[in-house]
Amino acid sequence: MLENALQYSHTLLKEVVHADDIVIDATMGNGHDTKFLAELVGLNGTVYSFDIQKLALMNTTELLNQNNLTDRVKLIQDSHANIDHYVTETITGAIFNLGYLPGGDKTEITHASSTLTAIESCLELLKSNGRVILVCYYGHPGGKDELAQVQQFTSNLDQHQYQVLEYQFTNQIHHPPILIAIEKR
Amino acid sequence: MLENALQYSHTLLKEVVHADDIVIDATMGNGHDTKFLAELVGLNGTVYSFDIQKLALMNTTELLNQNNLTDRVKLIQDSHANIDHYVTETITGAIFNLGYLPGGDKTEITHASSTLTAIESCLELLKSNGRVILVCYYGHPGGKDELAQVQQFTSNLDQHQYQVLEYQFTNQIHHPPILIAIEKR
């Protein structure tokens, strides 16, 4: 089976994130990506994980506790638009799930303006050969508009500084997420 | 580095084409994909390879001779629109390089009408979990039109029978090829 966008996002991160690295989960949600990144960076790495919803931090704390991964993770209840207030180190990877928190409040969605600010912050911090991965859900109201703005921004990144890849299934009627991968040269 | 479309086409074929398989190179060109497929299917497999240009058959024969791979390859000088005249067995993979033969006559390009007929023939022959891979060069005159027709055709394939994936770099100004992968369910 061809990997879906979520599976492929992990494949692309595994190739560039290693033990002791510093990485960002810009959309904590239920913590699945935070857990995945915490395993990749190991005991001496750091995962900065952001969400404005208290529920996200509660769910993620529980998931990390169950897996003995709390030591290397910093959970931050703030907008990812403020990443630059918290992270100053060089990162090797970052992941975004754009759209809403599955199982959470569906009126709490990501918005293009803060998303773009957060992506820019991650690109500033990103190491050469590092990757920022965006998994874009766009089936909800406003989703297509956010996607269009993110595609416009990423497809205009300087080709001498970045490679931008889009990975998407085109014949599925229920809007499966589109993956956008940005790699720094 | 993120794999380019050509590299990723080989990655996707390697996952589904194995020893003893029967496969199709629908656009022989200089024979690089034919050689790659001949190595994958091994001594008891078969590669059917198509091109209307005599030059393609000459170059490919030389490449296969140099690598002792002629035994398992059938080179056919005919349009890939006639694949169904030559192949009746079930295949596990097929590859198309759409556009023109690098180093060959640039007025000899693939055209959407015969391309679509050829893709349909390959899908008819394709085994469950098999893949038809299209690497679409579209920087030449008529290229964008062929690409649009191929995208229209593939994105309308029944989602219950096929998965259709597009893989493309969006911030490169020199039209790098777009990869389209079709997997049968």
pLDDT, mean of residues B107-136: 94
Residues with Cβ within 8 Å of A46's Cβ and at least 6 positions away in sequence, in order, are A21, A22, A23, A72, A73, A74, A89
Interface contact flag, A168 B163, Cβ < 8 Å: no
Which residue is closest to A130 within chain B, CA to CA?
Answer: B1
pLDDT tens across A123-144, in order?
999 999 999 999 999 988 889 9
Supply the pLDDT for residue B60: 98
d(CA A107, CA A165): 29
d(CA B45, CA B54): 24
- Which residue in B159, B156, B151 sits closest to B184, CA to CA? B159
Chain B contacts in chain A segment 105-164 (CB below 8 A): 129, 151, 154-159, 162-164
pLDDT, mean of residues A46-66: 97
- Residue A41's CATH number: 3.40.50.150
Task: Say which residue the tokens 């060959």 belong to.
Answer: B104
d(CA A22, CA A72): 10
pLDDT, mean of residues A151-179: 97
Mapped onto helix, strand or coil, the DSSP state of residue B176 is coil
Q: State how far residue B35 is from chain A, nearest Cα, in angstroms.
A: 24
d(CA A113, CA A115): 5
Task: Say which residue the tokens 């404005």 belong to.
Answer: A52
Residues of chain A neighbouring B165 (CB-CB closer than 8 A): 2, 167-170
B113 CA to centre of own chain: 16
Quick check: B134 pLDDT over 80?
yes
Quick check: B100 pLDDT over 80?
no
d(CA B72, CA A96): 47
Supply the pLDDT for residue A111: 86
Mapped onto helix, strand or coil, the DSSP state of residue A135 is strand
pLDDT tens across B2-27, in order?
999 999 999 999 999 999 999 999 99
ipTM of this complex prediction, to 2 decimal places? 0.95
Q: Which domain holds residue B131?
A: 5-184
> Which two tokens mark A124?
């500033």
Chain B contacts in chain A segment 41-80 (CB below 8 A): none
Which residue is closest to A5 within chain B, CA to CA?
Answer: B165
The half-sphere exposure of B164 on its side-chain side, counting CA atoms within 13 A, is: 22
Supply the pLDDT for residue B179: 98
Can you list the alpha helix ranges (DSSP code H) found in chain A?
5-14, 32-41, 54-66, 83-86, 112-125, 143-155
pLDDT, mean of residues B44-56: 96
Quick check: A102 pLDDT over 70?
no
d(CA B8, CA B178): 11
d(CA B23, CA B26): 10
Helix or strand run (H / E) with residue B49: strand B46-51
- Residue A50: what residue type? F
Helix or strand run (H / E) with residue B128: strand B126-136
d(CA A64, CA A35): 6
Mapped onto helix, strand or coil, the DSSP state of residue B113 is helix
pLDDT tens across B54-65, in order?
999 999 999 999
Quick check: B105 pLDDT over 70?
no
pLDDT band at A104 (very low <50, low <70, confident <90, very high): low
Q: Under the phi-then-psi rule, with left for phi > 0, alpha for psi from -120 to 50, and beta for the rest, what region is B180? A: beta
Supply the pLDDT for residue A105: 65
Percent of residues, chain A, with pLDDT higher than 70: 96
Q: Give the predicted TM-score (pTM) of the model.
A: 0.95
pLDDT band at B175 (very low <50, low <70, confident <90, very high): confident
Quick check: A56 pLDDT over 90?
yes
Supply the pLDDT for residue B102: 61
Interface contact flag, A169 B165, Cβ < 8 Å: yes
- The CA–CA distances, whole Å, from A58 to A62, B23, B120 equal 6, 52, 51
Number of domains comprising chain A: 1
Quick check: A103 pLDDT over 80?
no
The half-sphere exposure of B106 on its side-chain side, counting CA atoms within 13 A, is: 9
Which stretch of A16-25, A96-105, A110-119, B163-172 has the lowest confidence by average pLDDT?
A96-105
Average pLDDT value over all residues in chain A:
95
Quick check: B104 pLDDT over 70?
no
d(CA A94, CA A37): 9
Residues of chain B neighbouring A136 (CB-CB closer than 8 A): none
The answer to whether A52 and A111 have CB atoms below 8 angstroms apart is no
Supply the pLDDT for residue B145: 93
- The CA–CA distances, whole Å, from B5 to A85, A111, B133 equal 38, 31, 10
- The CA–CA distances, whole Å, from B24 to A30, B73, B74, B86, B94 equal 45, 10, 10, 11, 5
